[in-house]
Structure 1
Amino acid sequence: MAVVPGGAGPAPRPPLRMAGPRAKMRAMPRHSAPGSAAPGHSPPDSAALSEVDLALVEALQVDPRAPWTRIALAIGIDATTAARRWERLHSAGLAWLTAYTTTPTTTIGYVDLACRPDRLPALTEELCRWPSVFSVERTTGRYQLFLGLTAHDLTALDALVTGRVGELAGVDSTRLAIATKVYREGSGWLVRALAPEQRAALDDTAAQARALVPGRWNDATVATLLEALSVDGRRSCADLARDCGMSESAVRRVLGRMLRNHELDFRCDLANGLAGWPVIATYRLDVPGDKLDRIARALATRPETRLCVAVTGEHNLILTAWLHAPVECGGFEAQLATAAPEARVVDRVVTIRMPKRMGRLLASNGTAVGQVPIVPART
């Protein structure tokens, strides 16, 4: 679902949005400390985020808009402390929560871009400013950039890639893969700092939130609401109603409809390098068509898997993993071969730097320093 017209020609340069927390604090008694994660999948030691910080991030990954009282109960601290910790993480750019439309309502493309070395910094800066380019990664290999693009439809995606990206000065070649089915993306990846029973308690709340009665709303209303949520996914319905010119009950209904129809997703993200996952490895796999769904579902459940999406093109599956060190890349690929012997890895790259992730502008250390709201391209 497109939310704001894009248009052809050079991409606009919107002002960068600095994210700011809007946490509401409520007190409650203390409970037990956070539980340990599943054996072998514990989050690494981090100088920037404590064990409680990581548990807080995971609680918000499981149920992004849960009240602080429920979040605090799950991780074993009081609500005021939970809200205060989130404000610190958010203000420092260590963690953030955003909202975005999903693949049933938009067309997603992944572009590998090769360019002249002297043009790489300028191209990176330019593409980070485009609302329809939601992610930008500098990678190893013959393609220097890996881009995530969103468009209203296939025609708009083609115009974006060939008519705008392809015409930028210094671009030598592009390779486009179109997402056909997403098995996991960033909103489904977990820190794994919570015990199973803590996670289950939050899962129940998330399931109830998706059962709200849907309604019908025009694109302008949805666009206004999405822009506000993309800056801060925890804004209260009262705040959203005031700023978007809607009633509070209308906000609840439109959010309920979009969640129930899987048109909207929330993601609690974090500075992966400072949190202990500095290595982003992406694999392109060629999987037999009759085994693609089974293999993709299995690989998507791996704790390292951050992105698993079936695509068109030279290969039919893209898989991205977050790892603790470069030495783990070989071991992870060996595990892929064991888990899916029918699949063939046709390409493998490591991300050198990720200056943009789902609309968030990132500093060299991975902290969030600004935002360009995501807007699907239109013809």
Structure 2
Amino acid sequence: MNLDNRRVVLPPLDTEQDQLLAHALQIDGRAPFRRIAEVLGVSDQTVARRYSRLRSAGTLRVVGLTDPLRLGEVPWFVRVRCAPSAAGAIGEALARRPDTAWVSLTSGGTEIACLVRPRTTGGGDTLLLEKLPRTPQVAEVSGHCVLHVFFGQDLSLLTKSGPLTAAQVAALRPANAPDNLLSDPAPAYPLDEADHRLLDVLARDGRAAVGELAAATGRPPTTVRRRMAELREAGVLYFDVDFAPRVLQRNFRAALWLNVVPSDIEAVGGTLASHPEVSFAAATTGDFNVYASVTTPDAGAFYRYLTGPVAALPGILGTSTAPIHRAFKCAGPLERRDR
């Protein structure tokens, strides 16, 4: 993301080693570098040094995130149609908001799409109906409630396309992680102020040291470790890897909206979740009731995906696609870095 004029020198890309490290961190973002090194067959100094360089360059980082549905929040897809000259400023303003999870520029530079997580009931209405429509050069705002996530959360393209073997994945999988984080709306899991401070630090740096987390929460390190384990077991806290497209050598990204017959939504969502091109898939409200984020090596591969696997899906009444030109915000809070 280009949010200032600084130039960041990217470290030379070692595709195989960087993909191995990224996949290992996707399995367990807080795995000790020593354990990752043992699984990868390299030294722990090599793993720590490589992660530090990639993290500093904004190429790869671990973030600790929360499942909104397990916290009683109802996430929304918000689409903002605006004048091309205003898209950059509006996108950056949305990215700075604490209630946006990701913000992208699509559709020829005239539409901004973002995922909004209102902290309170009705919070989405404030953003949708009050603030954005009053912004100069905003032509239209629409919102779509996220009903169910088919693929996402702690799962990513690395889960499906990463180079680790099944044995390596098993060796890295944390013992306290639930089998399935994908959830439907449920009663809100209770959090106190110390929990929120803990989660705020992890959202900025998923590998923050226990001492830093203890200082932020006012809790002893042993309590911090136990609370993190409880939140992970409950499916509230999970760790994700925010990585630049160059890590997987997939440089074409697009939003895919599908109008699906209601009786086929579950089947379509489950099939999309298995596609190696899909990094996120969910059921939403609206005429286009299934959304997928698609990543391919180039536009030609995206065309073949649309005319092949997508065309074969059952119950499709219509499709809408839009290339993603720029990501203002990805996983976790906004970071000022050149991707």
Question: Fold conserved (TM > 0.5)?
Answer: yes
Q: 2:214 aligns with which of 228, 232, 241?
A: 241
CA contact (8 A) 1:355 1:363 kept: no
CA contact (8 A) 1:299 1:339 kept: no
Query: Is 1:311 the counterpart of 2:290 in the alignment?
Result: no
- Aligned partner letter, 2:128: V
Task: State how far apart, in whole Å, the 2-side matches of 1:142 and 1:73 are.
Answer: 46
User: Matched residue of 1:276: which SS?
Assistant: coil
Question: Deviations for 1:124-144, whole angstroms, at most 9, x for unmatched residues?
Answer: 222222111221111125952
Q: Give the stretch that moved more between structures: 140-149 or 238-247.
A: 140-149
CA contact (8 A) 1:280 1:321 kept: yes
- 1:362 offset after TM fit, Å? 6.1
* Structural mapping, 1:22-101, within 5 Å: 48-101=13-66
- Aligned partner letter, 1:145: I
CA contact (8 A) 1:310 1:317 kept: yes
1:373 paired residue number? none
- 1:224 offset after TM fit, Å? 0.6
Task: State how far apart, in whole Å, the 2-side matches of 1:83 and 1:274 are.
Answer: 17
* Structural mapping, 1:144-223, within 5 Å: 144-185=111-152, 187-189=154-156, 190=158, 191-203=161-173, 206-210=174-178, 218-223=191-196
Size of the aligned set, in residue pairs, is 315
- Aligned partner letter, 1:168: T
The answer for unaligned runs of 5 or more in structure 1 is 1-15, 17-45, 368-379
In structure 2, the CA distance between the partners of 1:248 and 1:312, relative to structure 1 (3 Å rule), is same
Question: Deviations for 1:38-87, whole angstroms, at most 9, x for unmatched residues?
Answer: xxxxxxxx963431111001100011111112211222212121111111
In structure 2, the CA distance between the partners of 1:207 and 1:311, relative to structure 1 (3 Å rule), is farther
In structure 2, the CA distance between the partners of 1:164 and 1:199, relative to structure 1 (3 Å rule), is same
- 1:316 offset after TM fit, Å? 1.1
- Aligned partner letter, 1:164: K
- Aligned partner letter, 1:279: F
- 1:322 offset after TM fit, Å? 1.2
Task: State how far apart, in whole Å, the 1-side matches of 2:219 and 2:120 are.
Answer: 29
CA contact (8 A) 2:254 2:295 kept: yes
Task: State how far apart, in whole Å, the 1-side matches of 2:247 and 2:22 are.
Answer: 14
CA contact (8 A) 2:231 2:237 kept: yes
CA contact (8 A) 2:76 2:124 kept: yes
- Aligned partner letter, 1:360: L
- 1:338 offset after TM fit, Å? 5.0
User: Matched residue of 1:83: which SS?
Assistant: helix
2:100 paired residue number? 133
Task: State how far apart, in whole Å, the 1-side matches of 2:318 and 2:166 are.
Answer: 33
1:224 paired residue number? 197
Q: 1:321 aligns with which of 282, 294, 309?
A: 294
Task: State how far apart, in whole Å, the 1-side matches of 2:31 and 2:194 are.
Answer: 24
User: Matched residue of 1:347: which SS?
Assistant: strand
In structure 2, the CA distance between the partners of 1:239 and 1:142, relative to structure 1 (3 Å rule), is closer
The answer for unaligned runs of 5 or more in structure 2 is 5-10, 180-188
- Aligned partner letter, 2:31: A
In structure 2, the CA distance between the partners of 1:49 and 1:108, relative to structure 1 (3 Å rule), is farther
In structure 2, the CA distance between the partners of 1:362 and 1:242, relative to structure 1 (3 Å rule), is closer
- 1:201 offset after TM fit, Å? 2.0
CA contact (8 A) 1:355 1:362 kept: no
- 1:276 offset after TM fit, Å? 1.3
CA contact (8 A) 2:95 2:103 kept: yes
Question: Deviations for 1:159-180, whole angstroms, at most 9, x for unmatched residues?
Answer: 1211122221111101211101
TM-score (normalizing by structure 2) = 0.86
Task: State how far apart, in whole Å, the 2-side matches of 1:100 and 1:217 are.
Answer: 16
Higher helix proportion? 2
Task: State how far apart, in whole Å, the 2-side matches of 1:333 and 1:207 are.
Answer: 38
User: Matched residue of 2:299: which SS?
Assistant: coil
CA contact (8 A) 2:176 2:229 kept: no
Task: State how far apart, in whole Å, the 2-side matches of 1:314 and 1:244 are.
Answer: 44
Question: Deviations for 1:215-242, whole angstroms, at most 9, x for unmatched residues?
Answer: x964311211011111210123233113
Task: State how far apart, in whole Å, the 1-side matches of 2:13 and 2:318 are.
Answer: 34
Q: Give the stretch that moved more between structures: 315-324 or 294-303.
A: 294-303
Task: State how far apart, in whole Å, the 2-side matches of 1:218 and 1:117 are.
Answer: 41
User: Matched residue of 1:145: which SS?
Assistant: strand
User: What percentage of residue pairs aligned between the two structures are identical?
Assistant: 25
Task: State how far apart, in whole Å, the 2-side matches of 1:333 and 1:194 are.
Answer: 28
In structure 2, the CA distance between the partners of 1:220 and 1:144, relative to structure 1 (3 Å rule), is same
- 1:280 offset after TM fit, Å? 0.9
In structure 2, the CA distance between the partners of 1:305 and 1:54, relative to structure 1 (3 Å rule), is same
Superposition RMSD in Å: 2.3
Task: State how far apart, in whole Å, the 1-side matches of 2:336 and 2:267 are.
Answer: 35
Task: State how far apart, in whole Å, the 2-side matches of 1:80 and 1:142 are.
Answer: 43
- Aligned partner letter, 1:174: V
Query: Is 1:301 the counterpart of 2:262 in the alignment?
Result: no
- 1:152 offset after TM fit, Å? 2.4
- 1:110 offset after TM fit, Å? 0.7
2:251 paired residue number? 278
